[in-house]
Amino acid sequence: MSLDRYSRQILFTPIGKQGQEKLLASRVTMIGCGALGTGLANNLARAGVGFMRIVDRDFIEMNNLQRQLLFDETDVQENLPKAVAGANRIMKINSDIKTEPIVADVNYTNVEEFIKDADIVLDGTDNFETRFLLNDACVKHGKTWIYGGCVGSYGLVMVVIPGQTACVRCVFENAPPPGVAPTCDTAGVLNTIASIISSYQSTEAVKILTGNMAAVNKNLLSIDIWSNQFMQLKTAKNADCPVCGQKKFEFLEAKEGTHITSLCGRNAVQITQKIPAKMDFADISKRLSQLGKVTYNKFLLKFEQNECEITLFTDGRAIVKGTNDPAKARTLYAKYVGS
């Protein structure tokens, strides 16, 4: 493998040839492939991270293109999941690296498997429940991870090194109740703040993966690009923290039954089956085509009818658009897909 493509990065003294070789040997797990995730994937693929696992539960919509760097209109037309389209684009950017796209909802049943062989875990998610889940899993297994979030013109970045730095629960004791905190779907977001936050996350990842630990920012970085405010907020380990202090990993505990999540601001509900079921899209298409418009590929099936739009994934998970009511979404799922 030629290192010529990384020549300008190798010329940067803190990285050099040795650091570049470390990057090429590194393994990254990225949770979420939206505004932050696509920026992270783009930066780290070009930097030469050797292996990238991309996990995302969603599919691409036209309103994603304003800020999600790896996608284009063709991906929308083809109904591609974000993880798959992201991996496809990464391989066009840098065919030397390996990618593993996983179309899945990250939850207590799979998160530990996704992070187990990663050198670093990167947060490209859009909700605190998943971030708290990541925090539990990474602290439990001693995995460094980099929290990032943005909404409007504002964003945050924080590096979590288990045993050395504060964890996310040291700083944010509890997640805000659903519907209280603003989201990109309720308050909007500038594509520039997403690029800035993902760039900071990427840079911290490169520092860690190349062994430049003295350069790592161990504080919480807060940026508002519209009001030009940049702040470093000092963080410290909390002995009473339920995660890194008391080693209680409540977000990794089993939750019974079907998991239903209202996707705030999207007028949509996600339904995840406790026991995944293999979906036969051809058979389902024949049945539903008499009731509405059906399109499908090997990754997902989309059913559009007057009262709803259901996107069904191969394991039985679905996103039901047209309602914020979990009970109604469950009824529509049972009506058109099955109980």
Q: How far apart are CA 282 and CA 51, in angstroms?
A: 34
Pick left, alpha or beta for residue 256 (phi over 0 → left; psi -120 to 50 → alpha; otherwise beta).
beta
Q: How far apart are CA 5 and CA 47, in angstroms?
A: 9
Q: How far apart are CA 35 and CA 42, in angstroms?
A: 11
Choosing from 184, 244, 264, 308, the catalytic residue is 184
Q: At what angle do helices 82-93 and 35-47 cross, to 10 degrees?
A: 30
For residues 52 and 97, the answer to whether their CB atoms sit within 8 Å is: yes
Q: How far is CA 27 from CA 54, 120, 166, 261, 332, in A?
A: 11, 7, 23, 30, 40
- State whether the Cα torsion 211-213-215-216 is positive or negative: positive
184 tagged catalytic: yes
Half-sphere exposure of 262 (CA within 13 A, CB side): 15
**Residue whose token pair is 């696509």:** 38
Q: How far apart are CA 40 and CA 50, in angstroms?
A: 14
Active site residues: 184
